[in-house]
Structures are given as structure tokens and as C-alpha cells.
Structure 1
């Protein structure tokens, strides 16, 4: 019995010795940690929240359409006599494009013209004889009717000859054509596309709730991935009077300046409609916001006394914020921080409320309201 008690006392002594030893070691390490400065200082980048003017915008994606565009075609069938353009030419209105063989039509026109002239001569002669009561009124009226028929036949044949000459209906750029001299064209066959490009339409759709913010004449700015660093200005030219029953969207048409013909029909473009008067918002970089399931937060940099070197000692305070609209790399803050407060823009993953920090803005995150893609 005495032996068992001794063993138990030894075991209990070892256990308590371990506990007290661990507590003493932890106390020693805590003192050493505190003497070394406590929580380690985190290097972050930071920026100041400032009030900036924002232009309210409505964004959409649209499709470009030529101000005037048509597939030039022949109205009547015929054999191609000459092709008077090259693919891709810029042409003026009335420029001769294709001449169909019209020899037979011209010969027929000459025949009809001669018949008309003869009919006119007969009518003029019988008119004088009628005044001299040498011919009857019925005979004169028959001559007049015959002259009108001959004149109509000439006019019809002239139109037939004119249709053998295909001209550009308006100024623009020609597309690619495979029509060649000697080729027979059926009526209505496409010869070449013609697109007017000095200005260009962009068609886009907006939800019906945006109608109150849209009006003809409003300024728009469009951009394409083809020219990522260039913006194209224009204005709304028309608003559809009908809302689509399926999508509840309304079609909007705007006209963009395109003097260098960089925009082409069929391209898509992003478009921003300048809507309403500019507003002022407290603005910070998006990178400063930490998104969590329980809300959005930022780390605000505050001074906490002075360091041993005599410089201000900085620490962070975590604060919930209410976000407003966003533009580019920036976001508006409606509630949660004040103007001129500094917020952390990088290094948040290492922070917690009260963490000491040092600021290094050697490589701050982007803070561009209108960022553009850059070449790698």
C-alpha cells in the first residue's frame, strides 16, 4: 500500500511540475515577446479618402450600324461591260460603278425616238390643217394620242438604258466584289456593299427604369476592344417609342463621330451615357475594400502616440463601410469613413483590428477612374 502511494505521489508531482513549468515558460516567453515590441509591425500601402466629382453614367453594350448602308444591285439583268471601281474604294455619290451592255437597248431607243419625232411632225402638220379646216378634230386627236404613246415609249426605253448604268447612291466606302466584265448578272444580284462611315450609329438597349434618365441629345462615349485606348464621342439620336414585351428593354440609337472610319458596321462597343448632373462622392480605391459575408470593411490608419525614434506610431482600425457607385478602379463610400482619413490599400490579409503598421507606397494599387487595357 505504501509503495502504491509513493508511485501516485510521484506521478502527481510530475504532472503538477509539468503544469507549473509550462506556465512559467509561457510567462517567460510572453515577457520576452512584449519586450521585443508585441504584435509585429505590418508594411502596407495607404491612400487618403478624398471628395471627387462623379459624372453619373449608364453603361451598356451596343452594335454599330452604318449611317447609310446598302448592297448595290442591278435592277435589270444584263451582261457586265465594265467594272469601274476597286474593292475598298471610297466613292462619291453618283460615281459610276458598273456598266451593263446596253447596245440593243440604245438601238431600240433610237428607233423609238425616230418614231416619236415622226409622230410629232405629223401632229404639228395636222394641227395647222385643222386650223384651216382641212382635217377633222377626230383625226387631230388621234394624232395627239399617237404622239403621247410614242413619247411614253421613248421615256420607258430611256429608263431602261439608264438602269444599265449602276452608280453609287451616296458617298461611302465600297466592300469587296467579285463581279467581272463579261459576267451575266440576274436582276437584283448583289454587286458590292456600300457603307457611309463618316458617322456611324450604335444601337443598344436599356431597362425601362432608365427611361427617365434618357433623352435625345444626351452625350455618349463609346469604346471598343479594337482601339482600347481611344474613346468615340456622340449623342443619342432616337429613343424607341416601344418597350420590348419579353425583356422590358427599350432600344436606343446614338450617332458617333467616325471621321477616320475606324468603326465599322457590325462591331460591338461598350457605351456610357452621361446622365444627370455631376455629383461629389468620398472616393477610395476598390483595392482598399475587403469584402466579407458579413459586410464590407476597410482598415483606417490612425496615429497611436510616438515610436522610440520620435516618429508617429501608426495602427489600423477596422471599420464597416457602405459602398456607393463604382467607376474603374475607384468606389464611392456613402458611410463609414470621413474625408482625409487614410485607408490601407494593400496588405490587408496580414492585418487585424489594432495592428501596428508602417506605410510604404512604393508600389500602390491602381486608382484610375477610367482604366484602359495595357500591353503585357
Structure 2
């Protein structure tokens, strides 16, 4: 009996001791594993920065206007008897586009010409008779007035006949035709839109802070969504003389050659007014900048004492922007290597791996709503 009383407590102590020892051993191994486990390595794209000539620009959003553009319309009423163009035709200046019925006006013109001929002969006859004293001066004056009135009446009818021929006021390209043969038109009825787009104008606005930078003749570079891989160049041709005091902006107009008619009226354009080159600056891609509540920062590439590359978060001060580049005025030095893509996974001291093949997914085209 006494042996069992000693054996049971002893067995219990041994079991508990084994469990406690196992847990201590397990905790020790876990700590050793965690101590030897390498932190995750983040793939990033990097670049070495250096100073380079900086081309400053004033950026804006503008829209395209034609060199000349009007709605061709009728000045008189009547039925259309002839159409001499089709939608999309290129026409010359003074080319006849539409003929409105002029039969009545032509008849009236012939009648007025006949009256003018009679009045002319009467005036000539009275001019000869007054020398002989056969007519009075009043008779001669009346004959002259009748002749001049007949001539003016004929000219008036002829002018109306000319208005019944609707012509192109300048060389250009027509839009969609809005009338048909036999259609009755009223004064102001739209025939078609006509534009001269051999060169176009881009109208945009600049802030009053940039007004002093804008001058006539400055180079203008613009891009449109329809041709994302092309750049169109021109120059500033006009600057508004009055500023919009409510918004603090000034309208500016640029002229852009358009020989292939790629730029169409109404297109929106991203406009850059190129300013004189400044001294060399450190400029980096906007994708390399991290914005947070504490300011603006960039991740610089460093190497720790084990030879592993890590990210070092550096506060920077930004300056002027141009396209996808921004000037860094403080915080970085020439020769520094910075992370340009892959910032979302990083923090100060993160392990990184330089990989030029790493690229963030880029949206080629913004989905339309």
C-alpha cells in the first residue's frame, strides 16, 4: 500500500515535468526559427538620379477651334432647285453650293432693265432738247431721277438673284448636308457647316500666377486622346486683354498647323506652354513619390551591414512639374538610387530586390462612363 502512495505522486510529477519541458523546448525552437527566418523581399524598379537640364512648362486643358468656321445658311426664302455639293466635300471660295428658285427675280430683273433702257433714252433725249429750250430744267431733272431709280431697282433685283445662289465664303471642308432639292428654306436655314481646318486654334486658360510666363510666339505642345502617341506643336497667337476676375484666369489662344486634318473642332487637348530652359535640376518620375499626412517622401536604396538592399524613407521637397516628372529641390543628391515602382509594399527598412522587369499594371485607356 505504501509503494502505491509513493509511485502515483512520483508518476504525476514526471508527466507534468515532461509536458512542461516539451513546451519549453518547443518555444525555444520557435524563437530560433523566427530569429533565423529571413524577412520578405519586395521586388521594385529603381533608377539612379542625376541632374539634367529642366524644361519647365505651363500645363492646361484646352479645346480645339477651327481657323474659320461657320454654318452656311440662306439669306432669303424659296425652294431649292439645285444642290452642287455633298456631305464632306472640300470646296473653294465662292463655289456655288445651293441654287434657290430665282425665276421670278430673273423676270423682274429683265423688266427693270427694260425700264432702265427707256429711262436712259428719255434722259439722253431731254439732255439734247434742253439746249434748244424745248424742255424745262425740271423735266430734265425728273428724267434723270427716273433713270437713276430704274438703274437702282435693277441693281437691287440683281443683288437678290445673287443671294439666291448660296456660295462658300472661304475654302474649306463641309460637314453633313441638311437640305434637299425641292425643300423650302427660310432666312437662317442651315445648309451645312463649313470649316477651314488647315490650321486650328487651341483655346485654354492659365492662372494669374502664370500670366507673367506667357508671351506671344511661345511654343505650344499639345496631345489629344484620339492620337495618344502623337504630339502637335504650334505657338501662342493671341492673349486675352481682360482677366476673369471671378476665377482669376486668363484666356490664351495657340495656333497649330493641321495639314492632315487630325485635329477636329471640339476636341479637348492637354496643352503645355514650353518655357525657357532652366539650370540643371534633379527630376524624378511622379510614381516615385509617396504622399502621406507627414509630408512627401521617396524611398532611397541602401545596403545594410549584411549586404542586403533595404529601403530608406527620405522626406523631400518638390518643385515644378512637367508631364510625368517633378523637380526635387531638397532631400536627394545626384547619384542616389531611388525606388520608382513597387512603393505600395514598402516601409522604412524593408528588404528590396531590384528588378527592372517589375512593372505596375498600367491602365492603357480609362473606361468610358
Q: Classify 1:30/1:285 alpha carbon distance in 2 versus 1 (closer, same or farther; 3 Å).
A: farther
Q: What is residue 326 of structure 2 aligned with on the other side?
A: 331
Q: Classify 1:328/1:202 alpha carbon distance in 2 versus 1 (closer, same or farther; 3 Å).
A: closer
Q: Distance in 1 between matches of 2:86 and 2:43?
A: 65
Q: Distance in 1 between matches of 2:315 and 2:76?
A: 74
- The answer to whether the aligner puts 1:362 opposite 2:357 as a matched pair is yes
Shift of 1:50: 1.7
Q: Distance in 1 between matches of 2:218 and 2:56?
A: 12
Shift of 1:374: 6.8
Shift of 1:271: 1.3
Shift of 1:315: 4.5
* Equivalent runs, 1:1-376 vs 2, <5 Å: 43-303=43-303, 314-348=309-343, 353-354=348-349, 357-363=352-358, 373=364
Contact kept in structure 1, 2:56 and 2:277, CA below 8 Å: yes
Shift of 1:101: 1.2
Contact kept in structure 1, 2:342 and 2:360, CA below 8 Å: no
Q: What is residue 4 of structure 2 aligned with on the other side?
A: none
Q: Which moved more, 1:281-290 or 1:255-264?
A: 281-290
- String of CA shifts for 1:71-124, please: whole Å, max 9, x gaps: 111111111110111011111110100111111111111111111111111211
What TM-score do you get using the length of structure 1 for normalisation? 0.82
Q: Which moved more, 1:75-84 or 1:138-147?
A: 138-147
Q: Which moved more, 1:219-228 or 1:106-115?
A: 219-228
Q: Distance in 1 between matches of 2:363 and 2:34?
A: 48
Q: Distance in 1 between matches of 2:170 and 2:308?
A: 73
Q: Distance in 2 between matches of 1:352 and 1:106?
A: 88
Q: Classify 1:131/1:275 alpha carbon distance in 2 versus 1 (closer, same or farther; 3 Å).
A: same
Q: Classify 1:242/1:187 alpha carbon distance in 2 versus 1 (closer, same or farther; 3 Å).
A: same
Q: 5+ residue gaps in structure 2? A: 1-8
Q: Which moved more, 1:59-68 or 1:39-48?
A: 39-48
Q: Distance in 2 between matches of 1:229 and 1:349?
A: 29
Contact kept in structure 1, 2:301 and 2:309, CA below 8 Å: yes
- String of CA shifts for 1:37-71, please: whole Å, max 9, x gaps: 97666554321012222221122222222221111
Q: Distance in 2 between matches of 1:142 and 1:346?
A: 95
Shift of 1:185: 1.2
Q: Distance in 1 between matches of 2:96 and 2:212?
A: 48
Q: Distance in 2 between matches of 1:331 and 1:191?
A: 50
Contact kept in structure 2, 1:50 and 1:284, CA below 8 Å: no
- String of CA shifts for 1:262-315, please: whole Å, max 9, x gaps: 22222222211123434432122333333332223333234557x7xxxx7644
User: Number of paired residues?
Assistant: 353
Contact kept in structure 1, 2:56 and 2:321, CA below 8 Å: no
Q: Distance in 2 between matches of 1:190 and 1:202?
A: 26
Q: Distance in 2 between matches of 1:372 and 1:218?
A: 33
Q: Classify 1:43/1:103 alpha carbon distance in 2 versus 1 (closer, same or farther; 3 Å).
A: closer
